[in-house]
Structure 1
Amino acid sequence: MPFVEAIPLNSETVLERAAEAVEKRPVAPEPRPDQWQYTKTLNVQPADGRTTTDESWLRYDGKQSAGWDMEGNFRVRDVPPDPGDDDLSPQAYRKKLLKLPTDPDELIAHVAGDRHWIDKPREEGVPKVVAPADVRAYGILALYLKQQAVMPPKLEAAIFRALARISGVRIEQNVKDATGRTGLGLYWSTQSPRRYLILDPRTYRVMADQTVWLQDEVHDGRVIFEKGAVGANVVLATGIVDRAGLAR
C-alpha cells in the first residue's frame, strides 16, 4: 500500500464541518429493549502487532451479552446489574446522553465539572491524579463520540463544536487505521503516545481508536514499546440487530 502522509488541518474548520454534517442526520428510532447492539472489531496489540477479530452482542437493555468463547462456542450470558456508572447498557447510555446540554460551551462546562469523572476510582495502589479541566473535557467528549449507536444528532454536533473550542485539540488528514483505511485523526496535542480517534471523512463516525508511539517507551532501562508501534481498536461493523448471532 502506498505511503500517505498525514497532513495537519485547521481543527476548528474541520470540526464545524463535521457538526454541520451530523446535525442533519435523521433521529434514529430507539431500539427495543430486547434488540441487540452488534459490534465487530479488529484489535491490534502494540507489543508484537498481533491482531484478533472480535464479534460481540449486547442486549439494548444490558441484561444479556453474547459472543464466542475460547473453544469457538457461541454463548449468551446474563449480565448482573451494575451499581456504578462505568458500564452502562446502551439503553442507559442513551438516557444519559439525552440529558447533556447541546450548547457547546455549556457542554464543556458540564463534562469538565462532572464529579463522576473527577472522583472516579483509580487502580488500587496507584496515586489518584485529576487531569486538568480541558484534558478531562477532551477525554470525556472523545469517549461519548464512540457511543455512536445511541448518539442524538444534535448532541453529536455539539460535541464536535465543543471540541473545536478546546485549544489542545488537533486534526490530521490521511491518518491510516490498522486496516489501511484513511480518515481524519482527532487527538490531544500533548498526549504521548499519540492516541487518535480516526473519523470517517464523509460521515464523521469513529472508524478506530488507535495509539501510535512517536518514540520508544522505556521503563527501568528497557524498551516496552518501540517507536512506530501501533495499538488499535478498529470498528469493522456496528448496528442494531433483532437477536444475538445476527451481523450487520
Structure 2
Amino acid sequence: MDEMTQLRELRADAPVPDRAALAPGRERLTDAIAGSGGRRTFALRLRLRLRLRLRLRLRPMLRDWRVASLGAVVAVTAAALVITQVVGVQAPDPTSPATVAGDLDLSSPAAALNRAADYLERQEVPPEPRSDQWIYIREVDSWQEQQWEELPEEVRKKIPVTYSPDRWVPYDDKAAENDASDTDYRTARESYRIAAALPKDPEALLARLREVFPTGSGPDGAPEAKDEHSFRALSVLLESYPIPPDALARIYRAMATVGGVGVTGHLIRDASGREVIAVTRKYDRSESRREILLDPVDYGYAGTRDVVTKTHKVPTPKGRPTMVQKRGDVLIDIARTHAAVVDAKGEKP
C-alpha cells in the first residue's frame, strides 16, 4: 500500500469544515491536544490543511490521534500556533534578479498579473508529461517540520508515514482520478488538462473553475460568495504542477479581475527566505487573508500563506487560556522551492 492510500484511509471519516474556517485551524489543534474530542477535532484540522491542497503536500507527517498519550507528548502553546511574524515587509532589494530584469510592477494586481501573463505568453509550451513520469515537489513548511521534530521517537514509530519536505506523485494516477470523495483534489494530469483547456475570456475561465472546484453546501460548509469561490478555485489549480505557460497566463489575467484581490506593493520573504510577489485576498468570514506567492523572475507558483489582518481573540477550549491572533501573524507559511517532471519516484532534477 502506498503512502497516499494510507493517507486517504486515515482521513476517510473526517468531516469537511467550513471553507471560511481556514485561518482558525491552529486553535482546533489546541482542542485536540487538550483531549476534548481529540480524534474528531484533529481530523477537522487535518481536513482543513487538505482543503489548502496539502492532501498531496502533507508530506506524510500525520500525528496518530489514536495514540492515547498524544496530549501528554505534545505541548503546544498559543505562541507555537503562529509560525512567525511577517518577515521582509520592505521594498525589493535593488540587486535582486527580478528588479534588475525590470519586469516588476506591483502598483496593482492588474499591473502585476498582466505583466506576468505577458511574459508567460512569450514562453515555449513544453510537451505534456508522459503517463509514466513523476512530479517532484520540494516545499518548506517549518510548522509541520517543527511538529514532527517535537514528537518522541516512540510515537513516530507508530505512525505509518514520515515527514519529508520532498514528495513524488505519479503524473498519471488512475486510482486517484477515480476517487470522487474530495471535490478539490485533481491529479497532476487532470490539472494539466483542465488548465490547458481553460477559455481565454476571464469571466468564462472563472466560471469553469468554479464548476471544477465546487463550493460547499450542507455538511461541506456554507457556500462561498462568487469572488471568494473564484479565488479559492484559482489557488487550488495553481498549486498543481506542471501548468502550461500559456494557460498560466490566462489564469493570471482572470485572477486580476476577481473582486477583492490585491497585491503587496513590495516583495515579501517566504518561508525559505526568498523574495516573492504576494497576490492577496481576505477571507469573507475570517480576520485573515490568503496569499498566493509567485516567483518574481519566472512568475511560477512559489507557495502560499495565511496572514492575520486584524488583531482578535479566537475561541479556545474551556479551561484553556484566551488566545489572541495579532495583525500580521502568519498562520500558514509554505514555500515551494523546487518542482520538476522526473522519470522515476525518488529522482531529483
TM range (shorter): 0.7 to 0.9
CA distance 1:199–1:121, shift in 2 (3 Å): farther
1:241 aligns with 2:334: no
Larger radius of gyration: 2
Out of 238, 242, 246, which is 1:154 matched to?
246
1:107 aligns with 2:107: no
> Cα 1:4–1:83, aligned 2, differ >3 Å: closer, same or farther?
closer
Determine if the alignment matches structure 1 residue 16 to structure 2 residue 114. yes
Q: Identify the match of residue 214 of structure 2 among 99, 117, 123.
A: 117
Measured after TM superposition, the shift of residue 141 of structure 1 is 1.3
Structure with greater proportional strand content: 1
Q: 1:132 to 1:86 in 2, by over 3 A?
A: closer
**Compared CA separation, residues 79 and 194, structure 1 to 2 (3 A):** closer
Aligned to 2:295: 200
Q: How far off is 1:103 after superposition?
A: 1.7
User: Are residues 1:29 and 2:131 paired?
Assistant: no
Contact persistence 1:25–1:153 (CA under 8 A): yes
Higher relative contact order (CA 8 A, sep 6+): 1
* Aligned-partner SS, 1:9: coil
In structure 1, give the amino acid aligned to 2:235.
A
- The verdict on how the C-alpha distance between 1:116 and 1:194 changes in structure 2, with shifts beyond 3 A counting, is closer
Give the unaligned 5+ runs of structure 1. 64-77
User: 1:142 is matched with which residue?
Assistant: 235
Aligned mates of 1:212, 1:49 — CA distance in 2: 20
Distance 1:34 1:193 in 2: 40
Q: Aligned residue pairs: how many?
A: 226
- Inter-partner Cα distance in structure 1 for 2:308 and 2:244: 34
Using the TM superposition, give the Cα deviation of residue 223 of structure 1 relative to its aligned residue in structure 2, in angstroms.
0.8
Partner of 2:142: 44
Q: What SS does the aligned partner of 1:45 have? A: helix
What RMSD over aligned residues (CA atoms) do the two structures have, in Å? Answer: 3.0
In structure 2, do the counterparts of structure 1 residues 190 and 208 end up closer, same or farther at CA, with 3 Å as the change threshold? same
Q: Which amino acid aligns with 1:222?
A: T
What letter matches 1:153 in structure 2? P
**In structure 2, what is the Cα distance between the partners aligned to 1:244 and 1:182?**
30
> Which amino acid in 1 is paired with 2:186?
L
Quote the residue 1:176 is aligned against.
269
- Contact between 1:168 and 1:190, CA under 8 Å: does it hold in 2? no
Rounded to whole Å, the distance in 2 between the matches of 1:219 and 1:171 is 30
Can you list the C-alpha shifts for 1:178-224, whole angstroms capped at 9, x where unaligned? 12111110110456322211111111111111122343551147216
* Distance apart, 1:159 and its partner CA: 1.2
Q: Structure 1 residues 83, 175: closer, same or farther in 2, change over 3 A?
A: same
Matches within 5 A, 1:73-92: 81-84=178-181, 85-92=183-190
TM-score (norm 2): 0.57
User: 2:75 is matched with which residue?
Assistant: none
Matched, 1:218 2:311: no
Question: Closer, same or farther in 2 for the Cα pair 1:222/1:165, shift >3 Å?
Answer: same
2:173 equivalent to 1:62? yes
Q: How far apart are residue 237 of structure 1 and its match?
A: 0.9
Secondary structure of 2:215 counterpart: helix
Q: TM-score, normalised by structure 1?
A: 0.78
Letter of the 2:109 counterpart: S
The answer (yes or no) to whether the contact 2:176–2:187 under 8 Å persists in 1 is no
For the structure 1 residues 54 and 4, does the alpha-carbon distance in structure 2 shift closer, same or farther, using more than 3 Å as the test? same
CA distance in 1, matches of 2:331, 2:212: 32
2:224 match: secondary structure: coil
- Matched-pair identity in %: 24
